[in-house]
Structure 1
Amino acid sequence: MDNLKNISLEQLESDVHQNSLEAKKELSQLQELETYRKNFVGNVSHELKTPIFSIQGYLLTLLEGGMYNEKILKQFLERAVANVERLQFIISDLETINKIESGVLNLELSKIELKSLVEDVFSDLKILAKEKRIKLEFKSGADMQIYVNANREGLIRVFSNLIMNSIKYGVENGSTKVAFYPMDDKVLVEVSDNGIGIEQQHLKHIFDRFYRVDSNRSRKEGGSGLGLSIVKHIVEMHKGKITVRSTPNQGSTFGFTLQKRGN
């Protein structure tokens, strides 16, 4: 009987200890979620305020007499429109992030030939690349036909974002190169540039929402600050993984894997 009491007491102590650990874990998770929520709301608020205050400033200047100067009128209206477009980018990307994380966005997969898809993205971005005198090209060996099982619109968004970033933060007369490396049942895709690069301390945060290596330059270049976070989500929805390696003043390489599909 004493043994049974001891066993019951030991079991009770063990259960209490286990419940205590689980409660602490749940509390820690709730605290992390609350911290994430506060940071997210704060970041969204900050990102929205910047273009809104800019638009307000331009319009107030015009109302205070600037509209009677044709040159100032045109210039400030163009700047206001640019900030409205930035607001649209932010809201659109926030909607995309929300759909992905809530599971509402489902990717329909189909057979995609990689090289032709990237050529379409190159074509869409050739004017932007020409302005920066940056050459868009494939690495040697990437002229092979490789088929993957993927969502076309999702892949276009991934390539567009990575290539656009390489142009924005590239150097004049530089280059952006796309490479394919077939593996067993996957293909490794790499997008490389010889631009300004990213310092080591920023790499682990590069896919975080609203994270900017250089806040002033990033906002000047436009965008929502959510692009790389969306890229990471889309790659992971394809059961892939995305990585980055970079050296300041030498360039960056973003690599991700996709599931191969037979010809």
Structure 2
Amino acid sequence: MLGLRLKYDCKALFRMVWPLYIVGIVLPIGIRLFHWIQDLPFFDSFVFEMISLMYGGIYFFSLAALVIWPIVVTVRDFFNTMLKDEGYLTNTLPVSRNILFLSKELAGLTIFCLSGLVLMLSLWILSSDFSFEVMFAGLPIQDGRTIGFIILMVLMILASFYQSITMFFLSMMLGQMHRSNKGLFSVVYYFVISFGLQILALILLMIFAYFVDNFHLEQGFTLFVTSYEWVVGMMLVGALTIYNFVLGGIFHSVGVWISNHKLNLE
């Protein structure tokens, strides 16, 4: 049943994002065309330079949209199909709420991955010199470990996106518990949870600093970091990946519990 729901949700999201994919592929072709004709005498003018700059600005915003828009359409689809009028049909399906939530989360991750592929394709079209080696230049990695580090980075990005999706979903479920101003309360809950996560991160850093300072580990820690930069980098990325996936799982579970025990969505 999860497969059928996931297929349906992916199609619903794709219908809202495919025009952006077309734009993300067409615009860099236009930029390369601008660079090709800008040296011709007919196009050597201030007006053409202004048009070229405006075109480049539009392309920049399209790249930003490829990162932001997947979250927007995922949250919008969840709200329309679970909490508005269409929610009556969705919540009366012979499918558990856990499956419904998980399907929409996985569909959001799928669309995010597609957007990432379009982003890389767009950059590749724009520059023939684009490569992962250029993107990750200067990072604490050594020869032979680049692929592993890139995989961890991709997993960390996916984990972060998953955590963001589930936090949006949880905020909306908490907002639905109020009789009025549900949208406003959803926004408030989102910022409260975000602030709480920042406090949690600060507490964890303070605990780490306390142990390093009180057990006189500064010299050993500094030596380890400078001697094994790639290990520290991979450990940090791996820890952030696990942290975001765990938070996403918690947010998912709490959101499902609220929908089952605190709300009447049918």
Interval containing the TM-score (normalised by the shorter chain): under 0.3
Whose strand fraction is larger, Structure 1's or Structure 2's? Answer: 1
Higher relative contact order (CA 8 A, sep 6+): 2
Larger radius of gyration: 1
